[in-house]
Amino acid sequence: MAMSTTFAAEQAVNRRNSILLVIAVMGFLAALGFAIGFGTSGRVAGGFLVTAGAIVLATLLSVGSYFGGDQLVLATSGAKEVDHNSAPQLINVVQEMALAAGVPMPKVYIIDDTAPNAFATGRDPQHASVAITTGLLQKLDREELQGVLGHEMSHVRNYDIRFSLLVAVLVGSIALMADFFLRFTFWGGGRGSGDRDKGGGGLVVIVYLLAIVLAVLAPIIARLVQLAVSRQREYLADASSVELTRNPHGLEQALAKIAGDKEVLEVANRATQHLYFTNPIKKFEARSNSMFSTHPSIVDRINRLRRLTGEQPLDAPDQQALAGLD
């Protein structure tokens, strides 16, 4: 009972933090839209008009990603669908985790890559897919595989893919709007001296300058918030995986083993890296950027798992061995 209470508390905290972060991104979008509209037109109605346009843009992008985003990710990852005949053990483990999570059996895909990793995608549990690399199947035992797939099925059960999609679209809308406004301003758009003389006065000038500042900073801040949302959902999926498998050691061993693997997942990129079980872009790669990491550190994830079960955190030598590998 104590353990289930701990799980519930951990899940509640992560859900609350994620919702607050999404509200923050929506606030950035609204603030940027209003500042641009009011600063360029000198009218409150102009601010609301641009804000409404930004919301319409985000909605259109969301609809497109909602219905076609999962297939695009699977295609770009080179994933091929498998069944019980071609991958019996994998299908059995996925079925076990789907039953434990209380969700329909997802489609199962394999990516032909020796780097161990996995991801889940789809708009809801009824339209979900799980993709696993051949390296994951070769290098993990059954308990470790259960831990990883329990994590991915938790993403499906918790609607993390849809949640992350919403944040990604909002961040993308902010970036598009900011880029358009800065280009428009650079090429002589915005408020001219005649406009400033007609109305609005100093307030409009201040808001216009604020819009420029927001256009520069908002995409960066929104991206950092997006990464924070991603990390919160990873913590939640780890806790949920242990709840499903009742075996925290399998997940802990999988995390350590994957972190220590030096193989590079070539098919992963910055657009898809947040989907994976662990960050597929290793710190030693040229394309890595620790400031914009989509995942918590492996040491932090393992220590949180140990906290759930009342164990001591990793000792100093183990932490040093794992530090910097993910």
Q: Which residues are catalytic?
A: 152
What is the C-alpha to C-alpha distance for residues 189 and 186, in angstroms, rounded to an integer? 7
Q: How far apart are CA 109 and CA 124, in angstroms?
A: 17
Q: Which helix (H) or strand (E) holds 106?
A: none
Whole-number Å distance between alpha carbons of 135 and 138? 5
Alpha-carbon radius of gyration of the chain: 22
Residue pair 263/115 in contact (Cβ under 8 Å)? The answer is yes
Rounded to 10 degrees, what is the CA torsion of 243, 247, 251, 253? Answer: 160
Q: Which amino acid is at 190?
A: G
Find out whether 62 and 29 touch, Cβ atoms under 8 Å. no
Q: What angle do CA 25, 182, 69 make, to 5 degrees?
A: 45
Of 237, 250, 313, 243, give the one whose Cα is nearest residue 3: 243
Q: Output the six-digit token pair for 322.
A: 């794992």
Phi, psi values for residue 70, rounded to 5°: -65, -40
∠ at Cα 26 (21, 31), nearest 5°? 125
